[in-house]
């Protein structure tokens, strides 16, 4: 019994020593990583600003961490600062290391490598990026798409084809890469891809119509509205049209105000809101009593904004024959008044 107690005591003490050793080792490694990040972030910041730097040796075991630091900092640099960073990265052979990762690394390695090589404008990465564009992996496929666009803007048709059917691609990432590309390349490609896409693909592409020029975005929307009878696509198109609508589009929006689908009515009100005139007041008064909550409140908001919350709107909040409409208009007046007060304080 005493031997058993002694044995377990020794095991417990040994276990404590192991835990202490692991903890100290982790603390030491964390400190080293923090120091490494601080040093290289300062180096890359100085390079980007054009300041003189002290040349540092890059150890093999630090290359991956330094590549990560470069990638994150380079993403927010443009123009001369970006070019200075690219030149420096090539000097310390980060491009060569990225090519190694692309060839021999796992998926996470390839995501980092393809991102860096795209930033560096390394054309040798294009075939690999093209082959991985259709990857089922979300991060790998999106990183490949961005790399392709940076290396060859003419690849936009292939990227938009993916955008049109990949529901897993994150919209902010897609928008960022399309805005970076710019309307010169995007406008004609969006027109071509929109013609080939089915209704679901068109809806997906319309989410990024705002990345096109105003003229192209509006033209795309008007062409779809003429051709489609799909209510979901109609609503998506009206929503996409709203930021680019011209005064002439008010007539178009009015056609959908009494559509049988509430979401189409709501989208039409979004287009009409900045374009409404006195002739729209009767329709807005009717819609303020619509059976759908969202339609009622959006119509009330447009009505109050159009009338600047004046006596007519206030009278309707008391005399409208529909109780729900009275409540919606009263709420819209309160919100409108509050927004005016906030604007004054700002």
Residue 63 counted as domain residue = no
**Whole-number pLDDT of residue 18:** 52
For residues 23 and 16, what is the distance between their CA atoms, to the nearest angstrom? Answer: 11
**Whole-number pLDDT of residue 23:** 46
For residues 304 and 101, what is the distance between their CA atoms, to the nearest angstrom? Answer: 60
Residue 336 counted as domain residue = yes
Residue 169 counted as domain residue = yes
Task: Count the neighbouring beta carbons within 10 Å of the beta carbon of residue 91.
Answer: 11
**Whole-number pLDDT of residue 346:** 60
Q: Which residue from 178, 217, 215, 172 is spatially nearest to 194, judged by alpha carbons?
A: 217
**Whole-number pLDDT of residue 31:** 66
For residues 269 and 302, what is the distance between their CA atoms, to the nearest angstrom? Answer: 8
Residue 257 counted as domain residue = yes
Residue 309 counted as domain residue = yes
Regions in the chain scoring below 50 on pLDDT: 20-21, 23, 25, 27
DSSP annotation of 220: H
**Whole-number pLDDT of residue 8:** 56
For residues 142 and 115, what is the distance between their CA atoms, to the nearest angstrom? Answer: 10
Residue 322, classed as helix, strand or coil, is coil
**Whole-number pLDDT of residue 314:** 84
Say whether both 233 and 297 belong to one domain: no
Cα-based distances in Å from 52 to 44, 46, 158: 11, 7, 42
Pick the last residue of a domain from 130, 151, 172.
151
Say whether both 157 and 216 belong to one domain: yes
Residue 59 counted as domain residue = no
pLDDT in tens, 116-159: 999 999 999 999 999 999 999 899 999 999 999 999 999 999 99
Say whether both 307 and 282 belong to one domain: yes
**Whole-number pLDDT of residue 340:** 79
pTM of structure: 0.82
Contact 179, 160 (CB under 8 A): no
Residue 79 counted as domain residue = no
Residues written for the chain: 346
Residue 133 counted as domain residue = yes
**Whole-number pLDDT of residue 27:** 46
Pick the last residue of a domain from 213, 244, 275.
244
**Whole-number pLDDT of residue 315:** 85
For residues 328 and 285, what is the distance between their CA atoms, to the nearest angstrom? Answer: 11
Give how many domains the chain has, as a whole number: 3
Q: Which domain holds residue 238?
A: 153-244
State both tokens at 322: 């529909």
Say whether both 329 and 299 belong to one domain: yes
Contact 169, 162 (CB under 8 A): yes
């Amino acid at each position: 019994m005493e031997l058993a107690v002694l044995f377990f005591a020794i095991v417990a003490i040994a276990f404590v020593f192991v835990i202490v050793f692991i903890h100290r080792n982790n603390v030491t490694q964390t400190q080293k990583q923090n120091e490494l990040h601080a040093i290289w972030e300062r180096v890359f910041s100085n390079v980007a600003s054009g300041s003189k730097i002290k040349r540092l040796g890059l150890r093999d075991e630090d290359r991956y961490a330094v590549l990560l630091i470069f990638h994150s900092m380079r993403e927010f640099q443009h123009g001369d600062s970006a070019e200075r960073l690219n030149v420096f990265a090539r000097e310390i052979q980060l491009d060569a290391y990225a090519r190694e990762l692309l060839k021999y690394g796992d998926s996470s390695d390839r995501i980092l490598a393809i991102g860096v090589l795209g930033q560096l404008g390394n054309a040798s990465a294009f075939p690999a990026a093209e082959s991985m564009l259709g990857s089922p992996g979300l991060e790998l496929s999106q990183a490949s798409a961005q790399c392709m666009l940076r290396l060859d803007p003419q690849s936009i048709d292939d990227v938009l084809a993916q955008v049109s059917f990949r529901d897993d691609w994150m919209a902010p990432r897609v928008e960022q890469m399309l805005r970076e590309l710019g309307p010169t390349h995007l406008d004609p490609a969006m027109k071509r891809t929109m013609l080939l896409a089915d209704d679901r693909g068109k809806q997906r592409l319309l989410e990024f119509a705002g990345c096109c020029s105003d003229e192209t975005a509006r033209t795309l929307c008007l062409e779809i509205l003429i051709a489609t009878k799909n209510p979901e696509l109609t609503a998506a198109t009206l929503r996409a049209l709203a930021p680019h609508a011209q005064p002439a589009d008010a007539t178009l929006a009015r056609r959908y105000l009494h559509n049988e689908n509430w979401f189409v009515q709501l989208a039409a009100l979004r287009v009409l809101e900045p374009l409404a005139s006195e002739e729209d007041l009767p329709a807005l008064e009717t819609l303020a009593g619509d059976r759908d909550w969202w339609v009622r409140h959006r119509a009330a908001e447009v009505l109050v904004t159009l009338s600047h919350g004046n006596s007519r709107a206030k009278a309707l909040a008391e005399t409208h024959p529909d109780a729900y409409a009275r409540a919606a208009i009263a709420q819209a007046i309160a919100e409108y008044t509050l927004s005016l007060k906030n604007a004054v304080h700002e």
